[in-house]
Amino acid sequence: MARLDQSVFLRVAARANFLQATWNFERQQGVGWAYALQPVIEALYPDAAVRRERLAEHTAYFNTQPTLASLALGAAARLEEQRAAGTGPDAAAMGRIKGVLGSTLAALGDRLFWFSLRPFAAALGVLIALARPESAAGAIVLWSVYAVPHLALRFAGVGIGYHRGAGVLGGRLRDYLETAVTILAYAGCIVLGVAVAWSLAPGGEPRTIAVQSAVAGGLGVGLLSAQRARPSPTQWALGMGVLGILAAWQRLA
Amino acid sequence: MNANLAFPATVLLGGVAALDATPVAQTLLSQPLVTATLLGWIWGDWQTAFSVGVVLQILAASTLPVGSRTPEDYATGGVVGTGVALALAHGVQMQPWRDSAALAGVMTGLVAATTGVPLIRWQRRRNEGLSRWCEAELRAGRERSLGEANLAGAAMAFGIGVAYVALWLAVGSFGLRGLVEQESLRFSRAWTVLQPLWLGFGLAQLLSAFVQRRLTRAAVFGASLIGAWLTLVMGMP
């Protein structure tokens, strides 16, 4: 039986970029998961019939936060290695472990990447774009603040998941990621404070009362509307746009 | 860049953004501020691109792809919004007209982001068939079907992104040109109020996501706002 090495992990991580290429309501990331795990299965199972059976098994339902999926892929690679040696879980147990891994990683990954890092990157990018509108710095900062840790964890995550196994999120790794969520929330509050101050007085020059009132009005409506999921922020924004256009029409009629 | 080249480049960027949003890599290349920066460079008009991109970005930031929810499609919506504004403002120096183009761009971008949701759902239902086909092929002995299914999913997302952006770009830049030209004063006046209104609204949505009803976080925001205001208006101590 072949041992799994760094080159296999690298191929799995590269394929993890396509984890959601066929995302659907039925199996969600299932086919992308099997595609990412294919180098592991090929290395472990020389028998073509067994290999196909394992790959088909892995196309079943799976879903998690796409960055932390690398940790789950690494853990699954280790379990498959044990399975190929005759000591690992059977198909049903493998499915259950994948389900637990997926939901555990999603619970933390959604908070870290979707609810913390992505809004933080956006807030920082917008602040820099407001302060330096003639340069690409805002976009570069937005992209790199998110993409660098995202891609780093995607590529390193497979190896980490393999070495830590099914209990990948136990111990200090979970503490580190939880701490990152808290730090990002405080950092986001600071960045947003500066962004609001800048939108009221860019470069130290206070804007007109009408503009400051509009910013304050938007903040008020935003804070109130954020308490309810519906209407969505986009629907609120569209409604404001229509009202704003109608108001301007009336004034110049 | 020449407008004849800028149009196809914008449409292609729409396809790339549609790929990055969900099917491939998910690096935030598809975020409106990033695509607006690229479009500003392509069209040679940073001012219009930034004014539209910042508004769409702050609204997109609070729209999250969590679980199986299909969020508004700000990847193509961002490209459509900025692209329409740039096309309408192309070669024009008059400020009211440019503001009017920016407003038309943001509104078109918001509508395109909203109407993109059923299209993404349709795409995801097509992927269900692709998944079933893939499993059947695997069991029949074709291991390459995994790669082929993923390639097909990505190619479909790219193609739909390109077609969707092309359609909206045509509708927005040609359909709205007369309105933007004739009503530029009204639209310009609306833009001067709506731009800061949207900015404040988006910042509040983000703030709510960070604070989550925790008093210490709200206090940190307040201290940061007052400190930044004093530093900006009164100068560094």
For residues A136 and A207, what is the distance between their CA atoms, to the nearest angstrom? 24
For B108, the closest chain A residue by CA position comes to: A238
Mutation choice for A interface testing from B108, B111, B201, B216 by most A CBs within 10 A:
B201
What's the pTM?
A: 0.95
Q: What is the pLDDT of residues B3-48, one digit of tens each?
A: 789 999 999 999 999 999 999 999 999 999 999 999 999 999 999 9
Cβ contacts of B26 on chain A, cutoff 8 Å: 20, 66-67, 150
Q: Is residue B142 helix, strand or coil? A: coil
Q: Which residue has the tokens 């959604």?
A: A110
Cis before A39 (ω within 30)? no
Residue B208 forms contact with A (CB below 8 Å):
yes
Q: Which among A134, A216, A218 has the least Cβ separation from residue B46? A: A134
Contact A114 B59 (CB under 8 A): no
Asked if B104 contacts B48 with a C-beta cutoff of 8 angstroms, the reply is no
Quick one: pLDDT at residue B62? 79
Shortest distance, CA B4 to any CA of chain A (angstroms): 24
State the pLDDT at residue A112: 96
Name, in order, each residue with C-beta under 8 angstroms of B195's C-beta and a sequence gap of 6 or more.
A214, B51, B55, B102
Q: Which positions in chain B touch A30 (Cβ < 8 Å)?
A: 131
Query: Side chain identity at B67, as an amino acid letter?
Result: G
| Residue with the two structure tokens 């695997």 | B138
Q: Which residue of A has its CA nearest to B30?
A: A143
Would you give per-residue pLDDT tens digits along chain A (253 residues)?
Answer: 567 899 999 999 999 999 999 999 999 999 999 999 999 999 999 999 999 999 999 999 999 999 999 999 999 999 999 999 999 899 999 999 999 999 999 999 999 999 999 999 999 999 999 999 989 999 999 999 999 999 999 999 999 999 999 888 887 889 999 999 999 999 999 999 999 999 999 999 999 999 999 999 999 999 999 988 889 999 999 999 999 999 988 875 4
What number of C-beta contacts closer than 8 Å exist between A and B? 348
Nearest chain A residue to B123 by CA: give it.
Answer: A24
Contact check, Cβ <8 Å, A27/B128: yes
Count of positions (residues) in chain A: 253
CB contact under 8 A, A55 and B146: yes
Cβ pair B79, B108 in contact under 8 A = no
Tell me the per-residue pLDDT of B69-97, one tens digit each, with 9 for 90 and over.
788 999 999 999 999 999 999 999 999 99
* DSSP string of chain A, one letter each residue: -PPP-HHHHHHHHHHHTTTTTT-BTTTBTHHHHHHHHHHHHHHH--SHHHHHHHHHHHTS-B---TTTHHHHHHHHHHHHHHHHTT-S--HHHHHHHHHHHHHHHHHHHIIIIIIIIHHHHHHHHHHHHHH-TTSSHHHHHHHHHHHHHHHHHHHHHHHHHHHHGGGTTSTHHHHHHHHHHHHHHHHHHHHHHHHHHHHHSGGG-PPPHHHHHHHHHHHHHHHHHTTSSSS-HHHHHHHHHHHHHHHHHHHH-
- Alpha-carbon span B10 to A124, nearest angstrom: 25
The dihedrals phi and psi of A207, each to the nearest 5 degrees, come to -80, 175
The answer to whether residue B232 scores a pLDDT higher than 80 is yes
The pair of structure tokens assigned to A187 is 């950092």
The token pair that represents B14 in the structure block: 């729409």
- What's CA A134's distance to the chain center, in Å? 29
B118 touches A at CB < 8 Å:
no
Query: Which chain A residues contact residue B53 at CB under 8 A?
Result: 129, 139
Residue of B nearest to A126 (CA): B54
- Look-up: residue for tokens 């001067």? B192
Residue whose C-alpha is closest to residue B83's, from B116, B56, B59, B118: B56
Q: What is the mean pLDDT of residues B171-179?
A: 94
The total number of structural domains in chain B stands at 1
DSSP state of B144: T
> What per-residue confidence (pLDDT) applies to B2?
73
Mutate to test the interface with A, among B208, B229, B236 (most CBs of A within 10 A): B229
Chain A residue nearest residue B28, CA to CA? A143
Are A122 and B24 in contact (CB < 8 Å)? no
Cα separation, A218 vs B60, whole angstroms: 16
Residues in CB range of A123: below 8 A, 6 or more apart: A188, A191, A192, A195, B61, B203, B206
ipTM of this complex: 0.94
Distance CA A221, CA B132 (A): 46
- Distances, alpha carbon A30 to alpha carbons A57, A63, A171, in Å: 9, 7, 28
Averaged pLDDT of chain B? 94
Model confidence pLDDT, tens digit, residues A196-242: 999 999 999 999 999 999 999 999 999 999 988 889 999 999 999 99
The answer on pLDDT for B65 being more than 70 is: no
CB B193 within 8 A of CB A214: yes
What is the arithmetic mean of pLDDT over B115-132? 96
Q: Note whether B218 contacts A: Cβ–Cβ < 8 A.
A: yes
SS3 B26: coil
Query: CB-CB: which of A35, A223, A251 is closest to B147?
Result: A35
Domain of B113?
3-234
